[in-house]
């Protein structure tokens, strides 16, 4: 098993997944990694929905795909590549994003990360669930499974939460489509670290980098 730093540095968004089943034993390890995360006041208001039912996944994929057509696709075609990327790489990213859009429901297992966060969640609500989400992404990588942190469905959050049967006061924050990857892990494309680290005051270079 790779060490933690290797796991983090090769944990790419794995959007091309095989439909082959993933043993429950591995999914349970991933869920445990999620539950080990911190939450504000250790309140643990998370709920993790394991979704395998093809009909449920397909219903959600319809919204996920609609959002690609409405916002994500047009944004990719008009925006500049992010730091550490280039036009060719960005084009490949968009192709992978489109692939996942079309095959979202074919991932054998989804983990939907939800929070019982009340009717009007505030600005910090997500901080009590995204640690768990990241732990689960890292656990997938450590086990050789592919996943991608996806939040696009929240563009139709009410509709999608209704498909999952969420009660009032609970919301889904991320969907992790999980499966065996078709491609390889890593390396990641990121900009230079020294461009995003300041010392003492915003904009002042951090001397150690
Ligand atoms: C908050 C958040 C939301 C994201 N939502 C989606 C999504 O809905 N669909 C998707 O394909 N990727 C999604 N991603 C994945 C990012 O696009 C991905 O992490 C980024 O491009 C870096 O990819 P890399 O880690 O492979 O370099 C999301 C990532 C984050 C952090």
Helices (H), the chain: 4-9, 24-35, 54-67, 73-78, 87-103, 130-142, 157-163
Selection from 25, 87, 3, 19 nearest residue 54 by Cα: 19
pLDDT at 187: 87
CA distance readout (Å), 47 to 51, 172, 175 = 13, 9, 12
- Higher pLDDT: 103 or 121? It is 103
CA distance readout (Å), 161 to 11, 49, 205 = 28, 11, 44
State in Å: Cα 207 to ligand 1 middle: 31
Give 17-30 pLDDT, tens digit per residue.
Answer: 999 999 999 999 99
The pLDDT of residue 2 is above 90: no
Q: Which residues line ligand 1 (CB under 6 A)?
A: 12-13, 15, 97, 100, 148-152, 188-189
1 pLDDT tier (thresholds 50, 70, 90) = confident
Residue located nearest, by CA, to atom 10 of ligand 1: 150
Selection from 14, 11, 12, 15 nearest residue 102 by Cα: 15
pLDDT at 122: 87
Q: How far apart are CA 190 and CA 85, in angstroms?
A: 7
Q: How far apart are CA 125 and CA 62, in angstroms?
A: 27
pTM reported for the whole predicted model:
0.97
Residue located nearest, by CA, to atom 12 of ligand 1: 150
Give 110-150 pLDDT, tens digit per residue.
Answer: 999 999 999 888 889 899 999 999 999 999 999 999 999 99
State in Å: Cα 200 to ligand 1 middle: 30
State in Å: Cα 153 to ligand 1 middle: 13
In contact, 121 and 175? CB cutoff 8 Å: no
Q: How far apart are the first and last CA of the chain?
A: 30
pLDDT at 77: 87
């Amino acid at each position: 098993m790779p060490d933690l730093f290797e796991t983090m540095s090769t944990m790419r968004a794995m959007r091309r997944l095989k439909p082959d089943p993933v043993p429950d034993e591995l999914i349970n390890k991933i869920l445990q990694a999620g539950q080990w995360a911190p939450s504000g006041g250790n309140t643990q208001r998370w709920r993790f929905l394991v979704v395998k039912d093809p009909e449920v996944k397909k219903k959600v994929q319809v919204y996920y795909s609609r959002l690609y057509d409405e916002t994500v696709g047009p944004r990719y075609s008009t925006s500049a590549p992010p730091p550490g990327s280039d036009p060719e790489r960005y084009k490949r990213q968009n192709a992978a994003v489109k692939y996942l859009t079309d095959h979202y429901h074919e991932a054998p297992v989804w983990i939907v990360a939800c929070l019982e966060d009340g009717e009007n969640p505030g600005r910090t609500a997500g901080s009590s669930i995204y640690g768990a989400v990241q732990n689960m992404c890292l656990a997938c990588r450590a086990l050789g499974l592919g996943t991608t942190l996806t939040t696009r469905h929240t563009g139709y959050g009410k509709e999608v939460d209704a498909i999952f049967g969420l009660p009032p006061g609970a919301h889904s924050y991320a969907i992790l489509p999980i499966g065996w990857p078709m491609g390889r892990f890593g390396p990641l494309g990121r900009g230079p670290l020294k461009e995003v680290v300041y010392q003492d005051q915003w904009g002042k270079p951090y001397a150690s980098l």
